[in-house]
Structure 1
Amino acid sequence: MSSSSLSGKRILLTHADVFMGPVLCEVLREHGAQVIASSDALIDAQAPAAVVAAAGEIDVLIANLSYPAPTTPAAETSDEEWRHAFAALVDPLPRLFKAVLPAMIARRSGKILLMGSASALRGMKRASTYSAARGAQLAYVQAVGVEMAAHNIQINAIAQNFVDNPTYFPAEVQADPRFKERLRREVPLGRLVGAREDAEFAAYLCSASANCFVGQVFPVCGGWVPR
């Protein structure tokens, strides 16, 4: 991609201070985008619409939503844990979509990209709550993605795991010998996918070069294959 592939594009990025937010801000701006970075938690039901209204007209919404992954065994999962995970990861999505889609439909152009998780694509022990919430995200994107294709709006998702980011793989985790062994054992690449590698792919999906993709979920997992 050229340094001007997103020139003139206004991109609203949520949870811009966590998960993939910081590197996305950097990479998108390098490609010429004007990034409106929001760090609002989006838990309040009115917050997504307020964030969109404050951003003004946008070409792209990147739904980058973060929540600490609980490790509670399924038989011990509380109603509170379940509600909190869905309130942070799932409930904001339809509110954000409802806030941005009318304008996109009216002008017959726009993109939405979800920064999601591959935990929804492969069974993982002690991750039932988190995986369920991330799975709901992907299902929503797939359904709305095919619905909005007729309006020339492209909605897709990146489902990632083993991607370098400060929220789920902080420095202390990466330095742990047990984690390094896990990478060697589980990830064909033998390392985390670089944060910039992931962000460059996101930038591509935000560009006109990716107009042919609708309702797609792209695993980015360092060769770790969902089954």
Structure 2
Amino acid sequence: MVDKVIVITGANGGLGRALAQRFASDGEQVVLLGRTLAKVQEVASSIGERAMAAACDVMSPASVKAAFAEIAGVHPRIDVLINNAAVFDPFLIEEASDDQIMNGILTNLAGPMLCSRSAIPMLERGGLIINISSESVDMPFPHLLVYQSTKAGLERFSKGLQLELENRDIRVTTVRAGQMTGPGQSAVMEPEAGMRFFQACLQRGFNPMERGSTQYESATGLFRYLIDLPADMHLDIATYQARKSG
């Protein structure tokens, strides 16, 4: 069996890193993309010869095009693109800076669009694009309006892109992910913003700390399942929640 080539954005830490480690251990070739080259190079080096690292700022069309041109020089075809890079930054709209709003929109929504555009010509029949959304789309989380809106937009983008690519036998799936944690966690809130977010959650009647968190490594099994789906199956959206164990 020929190794699959799996491209993962935001692979310097968190879920992206765990996915790269999992797929490489499964015998696949992984391409790690991240804004800071040194960080993804460090992860790629720890994985070994099955990993390639490339700098990619998903907010920049030029950076995305350059990254996929670099990938094509090593892997002329790819099998899977996982749009994992995201900005998680709680704030109130009335207090938001220009950068907070634009970084969220460009990273969480425009980024997957730009990466998909560059990946599609490299995907052969049977290829797969996975866009990672969030359970917050359907939950009353406070201070996350930009994050929720971009993830909801990403889900709509996935549905439309599936229709565009159906005749080319390229599938597009959304993973609506629950709360996650683990080694290399990259989404760390500023203490003051985190405290305001936590207090606002309590005011809305739920405690995020009581909901449990899925380990990044545990979540990789779902992505493995999606990649290995039979050719006559398609999963539009896969949703998972965290649960306390033990």
Range class of TM-score, shorter chain: 0.7 to 0.9
Match of 2:6, as an amino acid?
I
Give the superposed CA RMSD.
2.8
TM alignment of 1:35-114, pairs within 5 A: 35-39=30-34, 40-56=56-72, 57-67=77-87, 69-104=88-123, 107-114=124-131
What does the per-residue CA deviation read over 1:177-197, in whole Å, with 9 as the maximum and x for residues that have no partner? x99x94574x3xxx3112122
Q: Counterpart amino acid of 1:117?
A: S
**What is the alpha-carbon distance in structure 1 between the residues aligned to residue 15 and residue 232 of structure 2?**
22
Report the counterpart of residue 157 of structure 1 in structure 2: 174
- Cα distance in 2, alignment partners of residues 196 and 211 from structure 1: 28
The offset of 1:222, in angstroms, is 2.0
Q: 1:34 to 1:81 in 2, by over 3 A?
A: same
- The CA distance in 2 between the partners of 1:44 and 1:155, in whole Å, is 23
* Correspondence for 1:209 among 209, 230, 235: 230
User: Between the two proteins, what is the percent identity of the paired residues?
Assistant: 16
Residue in structure 2 matching 1:195, options 208, 212, 216:
216
User: Relative contact order (C-alpha < 8 Å, sep 6+): which is higher?
Assistant: 1
Deviation of the 1:202 alpha carbon = 0.9
Alignment match, 2:22: 27
Partner of 2:155: 138
8 Å Cα contact 1:163/1:221 also seen in 2: no
- Per-residue CA deviation, residues 153-212 of structure 1 (Å, 9 max, x unaligned), is 111121112122412379x99xxxx99x94574x3xxx3112122111112212243751
- Asked whether the equivalents of residues 15 and 38 of structure 1 are also in contact (C-alpha less than 8 Å), the reply is yes
Asked if the contact 1:11–1:35 (Cα under 8 Å) also holds between the matched residues in 2, the reply is yes
Opposite residue 109 of structure 1, the aligned amino acid is G
Indicate yes or no: 2:115 matched with 1:120. no
Aligned length: 205
More displaced 10-residue stretch of structure 1: 123-132 or 79-88: 79-88
In structure 1, distance between residues paired with 2:169 and 2:231: 12
Deviations for 1:70-124, whole angstroms, at most 9, x for unmatched residues? Answer: 32223433444221211121112221111121343xx433111122222222231
- Is contact 1:160–1:220 with CA below 8 Å preserved after alignment? yes
Scaled by the length of structure 1, what TM-score is found? 0.78
Task: Measure, in 2, the Cα distance between the counterparts of 1:223 and 1:143.
Answer: 31
The residue that corresponds to 2:50 in the other structure is none
CA contact 2:174–2:238 (8 Å) conserved in 1:
yes
C-alpha distance in 1 between matches for 2:134 and 2:26: 24
* Helix, strand or coil at the partner of 2:86: coil
Q: Which segment drifts farther, 18-27 or 204-213?
A: 204-213
Unpaired segments of 5 or more residues in structure 2? 35-55
* Runs of 5+ unmatched residues, structure 1: none
